[in-house]
């Protein structure tokens, strides 16, 4: 499921779920935006595989608790805050937004690695929150709150 509009993907996931055995794990390839993952989980998908966290990380786009951050922007040139104030990953504990921006503008490969590292950490935390809310029976509320507040596209 790579490249289709998310509405079509969701329709296909719904249709396929009707014929798949209920107790089998459901895998969706190429679904990577947080809002799409949340929707797919609500349709029953268990596993995901997508390049988005690292591909976008390599080009300077970070997934954060405040939404999308394009770290190359000039507004970060003197921003000493971490990439994501609510994140405790290696990148956020050791590097400022200004330094990450500097690395990108200097063409340093480390820049893409550090933002990718943060993005993967963001996704690991997102999936942990999803599991927690499913277990608590509060997934629909969680999904609604996240989808309402963030647009990562």
**Using the rule CB under 5 A, which residue among 118, 119, 130, 133 binds Zn ion?**
118
**x/- string (CB under 5 A) for Zn ion, residues 43-82?**
----------------------------------------
Q: Considering beta carbons, is residue 139 or 150 the nearer one to Zn ion?
A: 150
Closest distance to Zn ion from the beta carbon of 119 (Å): 8
Which of 89, 103, 115, 130 is the binder for Zn ion (CB under 5 A)? Answer: 89
Which residue of 1, 45, 92, 115 would you call a contact of Zn ion, by CB under 5 A? 92
- How far apart are alpha carbons 140 and 122 in whole angstroms? 20
Q: Considering the rule CB under 5 A, would residue 87 count as an interface residue with Zn ion?
A: yes
User: Judged by CB, which is closer to Zn ion: 48, or 122?
Assistant: 122
Beta carbons within 10 angstroms of residue 77's beta carbon: 11
Minimum separation from the CB atom of position 118 to Zn ion (A): 4
């Amino acid at each position: 499921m790579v490249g289709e509009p998310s509405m079509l993907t969701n329709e296909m996931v719904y249709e396929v779920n009707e014929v798949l055995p209920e107790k089998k794990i459901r895998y969706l390839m190429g679904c990577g935006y947080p809002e799409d993952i949340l929707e797919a989980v609500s349709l029953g998908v268990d596993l995901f595989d997508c390049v988005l966290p690292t591909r976008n990380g390599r080009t300077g786009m970070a997934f954060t608790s405040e939404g999308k951050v394009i770290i190359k922007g000039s507004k970060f040139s003197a921003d000493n805050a971490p990439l994501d104030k609510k994140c405790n990953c290696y990148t956020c504990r050791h590097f400022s937004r200004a330094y990450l921006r500097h690395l990108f503008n200097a063409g340093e490969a480390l820049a893409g690695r550090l933002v990718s590292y943060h993005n993967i950490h963001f996704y690991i935390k997102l999936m942990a929150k999803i599991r927690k809310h499913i277990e608590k029976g509060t997934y629909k509320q969680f999904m609604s709150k996240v989808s309402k507040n963030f647009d990562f596209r």
